[in-house]
Structure 1
């Protein structure tokens, strides 16, 4: 075909297409919440044409090139009745079909993002806390939420920096493989829940794919079980970023002290014409030297996620986390706490014993390698206008290969380096089936979740523990070095652990929120839990054993059945703005072994009573919670007085009481305040040695902590987007160990951070100083915290 003919044919085809397109019409609209805020990811379809799409982050949707005629626009959102709207499409016209949801809260594949909220750091609504679409003011449980908008402004590059915004979290405890643990109401609490189910990671967790962190307070076994996800103090839920209907993303680079180099990426795109299939990719890589004389970390993470609105009733979400890291262990000091002969009591402090703050006593060739893979899949199906089915499969795998280290105190001035060499693997599988309903009985609204939960845990150990020669940590020889060669030469004399263990948990639970009146609601929940411990299989001997009944007496596999109830009342004094609440909550942990009479142990459990108030006033400009809680742990094991060497009894107890206050405020345009206060009074009440009764348990963290972050960004004018922030954390004196005759003190700390930033639609740039005054502080594992760290960040948006 000649070029001229080809051009003519192309012009004719374009003209024909243009003429044809003029015979079509368009349908567009917006879906909003009851308060007028946009609702993302609502399913909108043209019933007769079987065409579907999702609303974008502004709540908008569009159908182009629709043949003239009469159609039904169907709007489907999980947790509410479908809405059918009749429309007539004419040629060359655009029909606008808007819809405002009729209920206060709904549940969807994508979560509600409250756009335009003047208080940027208040994102309380969540479908995970109660496993129901329940507003914060309607929920009798206390929880804190740290959204990505806050930790982006703070330029946080790790979970520990993010959790500084949670009242009572304290200084994070970093384990040797990057694993992080916080305090909650006096108990260890790890971020091992992900999107509401167990998603353990016994390694570093990069925050690049986090939408927010939810700190759920108090024993939460009724809805979350007794897996490693929860503790008596609560649990940390990692909510990951989900795909959205639109193209966009950002690429960021952070550099700072001690050769910090970090690159992050976040890309989102629809992958089909109807925008019902969405894909998002988050990733990061980080390298940083320790502030101490030796030590480093090098990590990479990739987190793809995919969502698909298969039809107007059925949706799918697939979310994956993969990460691997190489690094050296942080300092973990187990101090000398013995009472010297001739003394009745000894009090020591990490600040006074002369232990060097900037020295690791190890080497850069003593490294570990970790790998983490978490897979999360969720299918939502709208059974009817009142019922939704939710099926979840979560699989988490973490492995550690290499050297894990600790420094064990031997005398007042000497330590013995301890190195665990080898391979460890943790695999957890969680399968849940939930049915979520919202209906009325005799005019009273019921919101209910009923579910079945299967959890399998499998751990592998193939490693050797090596003890190296003692060394004086004050007058250390200049030639001292613990190398990989020296460790390898001692492995033949080390203690071998070559085994695997596994357990299964089968659970059923139901929770109902019953509206007695429009303002008064009651939550009633219960869980039955069947735990089956399969025992420890020793690969070297071929023998399967269980736990210890006393000091060295092995028992076989065992099973325990536990019940966990939960009750709560909420009264909205000022509808949708102020509520009073109270709750009873329960948590438990299974215990192996037998008593001297041969009877098995029961599960250890904790009961919490709590009451307080929540507020959301002045158009979300002031949001806060204040509560008082009382937790009692029972059935704690302690040595049997009649035979303390071989057996234990189960009558120990511990109390944990306190007050927590959380506040986010936006008193002026551009000014945002986040503040928290936590007071915790923990004490042992039935100890193995009665002389320890009434003492605060060691490693329970500071009794009093305070956190705050205040920032201001110009909301308009030539300086729009420029801002500054100042924050701080305080914790008073705490204990590593605290007994009637031996106390090891961790001093109080005051740490302040400050930042400058500029943020607009195209890019974000910031500069921050962490720990402005280079305050010396230690975690409960006596890991020194970094002095002043300077970081800068540049993020490009598209």
Structure 2
């Protein structure tokens, strides 16, 4: 019955949409009615033909490459897709990618991306090739021309991510810049009452149109489809550029505020607890006092100068000033049948100051029919993190019934009681740092030099890329109370790359690569080990990949087979005495990805594909876990969307998408812990958009429903945290373009 009501409402709203548009067609016909109708058809066709997904993109230090000329698997989701799918976060955009799953990190509402079974933190998403500049935790996509996903390791291409993630892939955001005169306004509605909109204005001017300016603004506020959850977003961005003669100069600014209140928390399971029944799709088992508030200001500058034919030097720099605070809570289930468990409160204020830069020389020359494309340069990223924390001190009245500790309270997954926000704990170790003058906790300096050569044979039908990047990491940690430095990490490593492309035909390329990932090595715990505080060398993961690409009839298809091995840690267990913290473990992810993107006909579009991932532990303490599945990595993933323009209403586009995710391990089973596993799940999305022409200007009406059946399911178990899938979310918007 509930589904029928929603469907009926959607149909009514869509009918109302057409009624609003009808004045354009109800006006008296102009004298040249046939010419007017023809112009309208051209406008509608132009709007529908906008590219949503391309397989070209920025390959880091190698520059922009087309799909068939890069030995890596990259997908770019354009601003048109963001607009058409009414995406509100980067995670929304990546619902189209079969190699990516989005979850939450650290018990709050920050988006964490899992690519090829490995984590990519929000801190390690780059903008225009620079790390440390992107707003952390949550990012609104409306400021960006494209969201580019690189599947696979990228230590040579982009450098080591300062947050220590990105082993399975990376995300790069490309800022919007002025290409033509544009005035676009969008009004939007989503969920249970999120109202807002965005504006996108740009133009080029000057005698030779050498100056460009692009300004974007976003505001949204209201209740989500999860009961009582409230979100608010404020975003503003501006891009300025000057393009004259051999030079191009770019300057980008961004401001972003994100707030989430009374959010549904992630869930953990106590040992040997079965996976509990998923609560109703809209249920909220959080607390009213939980919140996340983020504020980021960032700026980027880039200069490109052509010093000779096919030779360019470039210089880029960026900075970010970030502020974050929140009360976070995670629910731990102790009884799967009843849903009984405990909750907690952790208050964390944080500030970040990051700077990043890069320089390089790129050029191409040919000798005896053999081409060489040379890249040489360097990069540097500096990060500083200041924070404090405090656990909540709950009164006995809300914790004794379940025997919870002083920092926890009794709750229930299916009937969560509301408890008062507790004061901060005063117990040493449960509170640390000043909340009025946040102490410096860590600094990082990441520098590198790189060089590569792409050699082309037989008219560039065979391309071989060889290169290396020498990277240095200096990380300092400080005591929050004494402010004294407690550890220093200064390590260097070289990460090589080899890539090969063979083009047997103009529309087909076969490729292979060997590339490495690099992350800051771990530091041994300060207690209960024989080597307290020992700093280990950087993690180096190794990836091998084989693949093929075909671009034909408006479609780009990609098949990739890959294997990545990543070191891991464990503590030895001697017969007596303390164990030793070592880096002797290993996880191996092996899989296949198949994607199909594009428009094989004017009336048909495909977006997505599927992936299969075999993620296993290959080295563990005494081999006891060897061969066991890694936590939170699905066996298979399917994301496939279709858009159809029906012949009977050519201004209408109907959309549909299926998202399917295989089983996931929640823990690594052992003699003391039974296996905990999430079942597979499937979700369906439906939508429509209609392009009307009013006064020779396109007006696009959109309506969609994600999780149309309002199915309840656990969507992710990555890191051992259960995240419940979003309920049915209805979105509607209207865009006017001048």
TM-score interval, smaller chain: 0.7 to 0.9
The residue number in structure 2 matching 1:207 is 141
Paired with 1:543 and 1:647, the residues of 2 have a C-alpha distance of 26
3-state SS in 2 of match to 1:197:
coil
Matched, 1:787 2:723: no
3-state SS in 2 of match to 1:335:
strand
The residue number in structure 1 matching 2:356 is 430
3-state SS in 1 of match to 2:676:
strand
Q: Is the 8 A contact 2:280 2:712 kept in 1?
A: no
Paired with 1:724 and 1:276, the residues of 2 have a C-alpha distance of 40
Q: Is the 8 A contact 1:362 1:482 kept in 2?
A: no
Q: Name which of 479, 485, 506 aligns with 1:544.
A: 485
The residue number in structure 2 matching 1:471 is 410
The residue number in structure 1 matching 2:503 is 572
Paired with 1:395 and 1:677, the residues of 2 have a C-alpha distance of 37
- The alpha carbon displacement at 1:116 in A equals 10
- The alpha carbon displacement at 1:171 in A equals 4.4
Q: Which runs of 5+ in 1 are unaligned?
A: 1-114, 340-345, 547-556
Question: How many pairs are equivalent?
Answer: 651
Paired with 1:490 and 1:426, the residues of 2 have a C-alpha distance of 25
CA RMSD of aligned residues (A): 2.6
Relative to 1, partners in 2 of residues 1:698 and 1:329: Cα closer, same or farther, differing over 3 Å? farther
Relative to 1, partners in 2 of residues 1:593 and 1:293: Cα closer, same or farther, differing over 3 Å? closer
Paired with 2:597 and 2:466, the residues of 1 have a C-alpha distance of 29
The residue number in structure 2 matching 1:372 is 296
Q: Is the 8 A contact 1:425 1:459 kept in 2?
A: yes
The residue number in structure 2 matching 1:280 is 214
Paired with 2:543 and 2:393, the residues of 1 have a C-alpha distance of 42
The residue number in structure 2 matching 1:483 is 420
Matched, 1:188 2:119: yes
3-state SS in 1 of match to 2:92:
helix
- The alpha carbon displacement at 1:489 in A equals 6.0
Q: Could you give the per-residue CA deviations for residues 58-81 of structure 1, whole angstroms, max 9, x where no partner exists?
A: xxxxxxxxxxxxxxxxxxxxxxxx
The residue number in structure 2 matching 1:524 is 466
The residue number in structure 1 matching 2:518 is 588
Paired with 1:475 and 1:787, the residues of 2 have a C-alpha distance of 16
Q: Name which of 450, 453, 456 aligns with 2:379.
A: 453
- The alpha carbon displacement at 1:326 in A equals 2.3
Q: Is the 8 A contact 1:637 1:650 kept in 2?
A: yes
Paired with 1:476 and 1:119, the residues of 2 have a C-alpha distance of 47
Q: Which runs of 5+ in 2 are unaligned?
A: 1-45, 400-408, 434-438
Paired with 2:638 and 2:281, the residues of 1 have a C-alpha distance of 25
Matched, 1:704 2:636: yes
The residue number in structure 2 matching 1:392 is 316
Q: Could you give the per-residue CA deviations for residues 147-179 of structure 1, whole angstroms, max 9, x where no partner exists?
A: 222332222222222101112213443666542
Relative to 1, partners in 2 of residues 1:365 and 1:590: Cα closer, same or farther, differing over 3 Å? closer
The residue number in structure 1 matching 2:557 is 624
Paired with 2:711 and 2:54, the residues of 1 have a C-alpha distance of 32
Q: Is the 8 A contact 1:366 1:483 kept in 2?
A: no
Paired with 1:144 and 1:423, the residues of 2 have a C-alpha distance of 36
TM-score where L is the length of structure 2: 0.83
Q: Name which of 736, 760, 766 aligns with 2:702.
A: 766
- The alpha carbon displacement at 1:410 in A equals 4.7
After superposing the two structures, state which structure 1 stretch, 320-329 or 216-225, moved more.
320-329
Paired with 2:410 and 2:530, the residues of 1 have a C-alpha distance of 42
Q: Is the 8 A contact 1:389 1:435 kept in 2?
A: yes
- The alpha carbon displacement at 1:423 in A equals 1.2
Paired with 2:540 and 2:48, the residues of 1 have a C-alpha distance of 41
Q: Could you give the per-residue CA deviations for residues 612-636 of structure 1, whole angstroms, max 9, x where no partner exists?
A: 1111123xx12111011011123x2
3-state SS in 2 of match to 1:232:
coil
Q: Is the 8 A contact 2:61 2:158 kept in 1?
A: no
The residue number in structure 2 matching 1:323 is 256
TM-score where L is the length of structure 1: 0.77
Matched, 1:443 2:385: no
Relative to 1, partners in 2 of residues 1:426 and 1:647: Cα closer, same or farther, differing over 3 Å? farther
The residue number in structure 1 matching 2:653 is 723
Paired with 2:424 and 2:358, the residues of 1 have a C-alpha distance of 48
Q: Name which of 664, 668, 674 aligns with 1:742.
A: 674
Q: Is the 8 A contact 2:53 2:75 kept in 1?
A: no
The residue number in structure 2 matching 1:31 is none
Q: Is the 8 A contact 2:108 2:329 kept in 1?
A: no
After superposing the two structures, state which structure 1 stretch, 151-160 or 315-324, moved more.
151-160
Paired with 2:343 and 2:114, the residues of 1 have a C-alpha distance of 27
Relative to 1, partners in 2 of residues 1:359 and 1:140: Cα closer, same or farther, differing over 3 Å? same
The residue number in structure 1 matching 2:332 is 408
Matched, 1:235 2:165: no
The residue number in structure 1 matching 2:403 is none
The residue number in structure 2 matching 1:551 is none
Relative to 1, partners in 2 of residues 1:649 and 1:263: Cα closer, same or farther, differing over 3 Å? same
3-state SS in 2 of match to 1:164:
helix
Q: Is the 8 A contact 1:119 1:672 kept in 2?
A: no
3-state SS in 1 of match to 2:81:
helix
Q: What pairs with 1:4-403 in structure 2 (closer than 5 Å)?
A: 120-129=51-60, 131-173=62-104, 178-190=109-121, 192-198=125-131, 199-228=133-162, 231-244=166-179, 246-309=180-243, 311-328=244-261, 330-339=263-272, 348-351=274-277, 358-403=282-327
Relative to 1, partners in 2 of residues 1:762 and 1:369: Cα closer, same or farther, differing over 3 Å? same
- The alpha carbon displacement at 1:415 in A equals 2.6
Q: What pairs with 1:687-702 in structure 2 (closer than 5 Å)?
A: 687-688=620-621, 690-700=623-633, 702=634
Q: Could you give the per-residue CA deviations for residues 366-403 of structure 1, whole angstroms, max 9, x where no partner exists?
A: 33321012211101111111321110102123221231
The residue number in structure 2 matching 1:649 is 582
Paired with 1:359 and 1:597, the residues of 2 have a C-alpha distance of 46
